[in-house]
Amino acid sequence: MDIQEYFSLVFSDYTLRTITLGTAILGAVTGMLGSFAVLRKQSLLGDAISHAALPGIAIAFLITGAKDSNTLLIGALVSGLIGTFWIRGIVNKTHLKSDTALGLILSLFFGFGMLLLTFIQKQPNANQAGLDKYLFGQAATLVESDVWLMAIVTGICLFVLLLFWKEFKILLFDKDYAKTLGFNTKSIDILITSFIVLAIVLGLQTVGVVLMSAMLLAPAAAARQWTNSLSKMVFLAAIFGAFSGVFGTAISASQNNLSTGPVIVIVASVFVIFSFIFSPNRGLLFRQIRFIANRRDLELQKTLAFMYRIAETHENISHPHAIKILNNFQGFTRKTLQKLVDKNYVTLDGTMWSLTEKGFETASNLYNQQAINDE
């Protein structure tokens, strides 16, 4: 199946439609919430949460003996939440910094989860196979009820975001100030963190424990490059996330046996790289272009200012001077001289140059203009 075939089948084929919808919704909700994680400088929180969910999955299986995805996800949710609140506890109660706390909880829970998984695999129960799909995710196992669950959670999440938009925003920007205004910052914090945990747990089946944090961070990091408005950033992150889901699924479905989760993450990373380079204001490419253009302008201005200082000592500003005398000045090149001629600032006559009326005026304004620009 090639990509074209995929897009013609996506509306009719039940499996394809389910998986595509699922990954799109997942991408949208993680992109949205990821914006908040990124802006709070809690990018690694997602990684810690997803790893912390693993023992929950294993324990839920050990208790119920069922592989029903909803049961396992509840286990993941509980252990993800426990991990998150332990991280908060460590940061609040000890002198350890949050990166240390995140690293500790991540490896502790993941290690315990792996231990439980190997324990389960050693058991003489045929039912145990397939739990390891939560490590790297397996989108093909998504069924309609999973997608419904994702859609409902995304809907609730969107509603809560819109309802508490102002509170989330002020918490992200200036938590201490929010406190003095009388907002219970702890509740807002817990609310948003719980949603992040929920979104991550929902994605475990599709993308897996190991790569889940990329779903949270990549769309948000890409979106930040394109806008300076929080609402637009959240919106764009959702769009980028959804498209990563769809394209990732399309590519993995059309190339046989490519695992969906990693492909989605790679597509999201492509969004990030593209945004880093090509976004108009913050992107590397345009920044470099602006830098070069500025440097050229400055060179031109420096030459013009130098000429101005020579010319102003003469009564006639257009009194011709030898090009040679510009040589002691580094900013001068044939090219800049030609550009000044093109702009009608200077006229050339053999080896002599003279400033025009226009050039004189522009040069005398240069200093004033600089003062204005600095303001």
Partner 1 sequence: MDKKLAVQIDDLTVAYNYKPVLWDIDLEIPEGVLMAIVGPNGAGKSTLIKATLGILKPIAGSVSIYGKPYNKQRSLVAYVPQKGSVDWDFPTTALDVVLMGTYGSLGWIKRPGLKEKKAALEALEKVGMLPFKDRQISQLSGGQQQRIFLARALVQDASIYFMDEPFQGVDATTEIAIINILKELRKAGKTVIVVHHDLQTVPEYFDWVTFLNVKKIATGPVKDIFNDDNLTKTYGINYKVSIQE
Binding-site ranges for partner 1 (CB under 8 A): 39, 41, 95, 163-167, 169-170, 172-174, 176-183, 224, 227-230, 232-233
Strands 346-349 and 321-322: unpaired
Give the residue with the Cβ less far from partner 1, 53 or 178. Answer: 178
What is the 3-state secondary structure of 209-226? CCCHHHHHHHHHHHHHCC
Do 31 and 241 meet the contact criterion of CB atoms below 8 Å apart?
A: yes
Q: Which residues pair with residue 353 across a beta bridge?
A: 321, 348
- For residues 195 and 211, what is the distance between their CA atoms, to the nearest angstrom? 18
Give the residue with the Cβ less far from partner 1, 156 or 163. Answer: 163
Q: Indicate the burial class of 349 (C-beta count within 10 angstroms; 0-12, 13-18, 19 or more).
A: exposed
Q: How far is the CB of 173 from partner 1 (least distance, A)?
A: 5
What is the CB neighbour count within 10 angstroms for residue 127?
12
Q: Indicate the burial class of 114 (C-beta count within 10 angstroms; 0-12, 13-18, 19 or more).
A: middle
Give the residue with the Cβ less far from partner 1, 93 or 334. Answer: 93
Give the residue with the Cβ less far from partner 1, 4 or 231. Answer: 231
Q: Which residues touch 144 (CB under 8 Å, ≥6 apart)? A: 18
Give the residue with the Cβ less far from partner 1, 166 or 295. Answer: 166
Q: How far is the CB of 243 from partner 1 (least distance, A)?
A: 21
Q: How far is the CB of 224 from partner 1 (least distance, A)?
A: 7
Name the token pair of 43: 């990018």
Q: How far is the CB of 175 from partner 1 (least distance, A)?
A: 9
Give the residue with the Cβ less far from partner 1, 201 or 220. Answer: 220
Q: How far is the CB of 215 from partner 1 (least distance, A)?
A: 21
Q: How far is the CB of 135 from partner 1 (least distance, A)?
A: 34
Q: Which residues touch 213 (CB under 8 Å, ≥6 apart)? A: 43, 44, 46, 47, 50, 200
Q: How far is the CB of 349 from partner 1 (least distance, A)?
A: 45
Give the residue with the Cβ less far from partner 1, 96 or 114. Answer: 96
Q: What count of Cα atoms within 13 Å lies in the side-chain half-sphere of residue 270? A: 11
